[in-house]
Structures are given as structure tokens and as C-alpha cells.
Amino acid sequence: MNYYSKIADGYNELHSEEQVKKVKRIIKELNIGRESVLDVGCGTAFYSNLFYNYTGLDSSKGMLRKSKGKIFFGTAEKLPFVDNSFDVVICVTAIHNFNDPKKAIEELKRVGRNKFAISVLKKSRRFKFIRNLIHKNLSVREVEEDKDIIFIQTGKT
């Protein structure tokens, strides 16, 4: 994740518009209100203000230094939270960067209670692999977004 630490200063300027659009779509699709939300791979968490009860986690110290709010350092493959800690777990255009996406999905499910959203960059070289993993491990529907597919699950399986 050293790459993201290097680009942290300009990350929001580069990606904020498209990321906010995806997050607003996720909020609408999951009907997120006052629920507790965990954002795995939150980066700078610049959109955290769109949520009532937000927690972010990222493995890039550079990105986290640019963030505000309730943010934790850690990896998606070993989330530092107890089982069923969050009503909603989201992962916005980050899973293709994880070392072990299968383990990450298992962890998302472990800490989440009801609702899940994972967006995957369509042009990622790991897209088909990750799409298959998501479908094997979650009961999702796919929502098309400009550069991503958002996988939405509205209840625990």
C-alpha cells in the first residue's frame, strides 16, 4: 500500500467526484440511515460525513494521515473488530488491492450484521476472480456504476 501513501496528498482531488457518486449510490441501494457503517479500504475517508455512524479502516498510513473521524489502521484480511460489530459494511473500489480477497470477504461477513456493498473496478485484472468470490460468498445483486460494478447484499446469509 506504499503507492497509496505516496499519492495521499492528491487522492481526494483525483478521485472524490467518482467515489462520492458511488457512495451515494450505495447509501441509496442499502437505504442507510443511522446504522453503524464500516468502510474497509477507506483511504482518506473524505466522504465519511455522508454517514451518521461511520468507522473507516485502511492499511495506508499516508492515506489515514489525511483522514478525519473514527479511522483505524489495519488490513481487510484481519479486521480488528468483534463479530457482528456493524450494521453495514462497505468496501469501495479497494478489494482488488487486497492481498487475499477471499479472506477479506470472510472478514467483511464476520464483522457485518445485515447489509454489504463491495464495488469492484471493471478494468481490474482481478475483476472476474473477485466477482466469482463475491458471488460464492454473498447473496448479491449487481449494480452498474460508471467504472465499477457494485455488489449489494441487503440481508445476512
pLDDT, tens only, 13-48:
444 567 788 899 999 999 999 999 999 999 888 889
* Architecture of the structural domain at 2-153: 3-Layer(aba) Sandwich (3.40)
Q: Confidence class of residue 157 from pLDDT cuts 50, 70 and 90?
A: low
Which carries the bigger pLDDT value, residue 135 or residue 65? 135
Q: What is the domain partition of the chain in residue ranges?
A: 2-153
pLDDT, tens only, 90-137:
999 999 989 999 999 999 999 999 899 999 999 999 999 999 999 999
Q: Do 118 and 143 touch, CB atoms closer than 8 A?
A: no
Contacts for 92 with CB less than 8 Å, ≥ 6 apart: 19, 22, 23, 26, 39, 41, 42, 117, 119
User: In terms of Cα–Cα distance, which of 2, 93, 5 is closest to 47?
Assistant: 93
Q: Confidence class of residue 8 from pLDDT cuts 50, 70 and 90?
A: very low
The per-residue pLDDT for 16 is: 59
SS3 at position 68: coil
Region of poorest pLDDT, from 43-57, 59-73, 125-139:
59-73
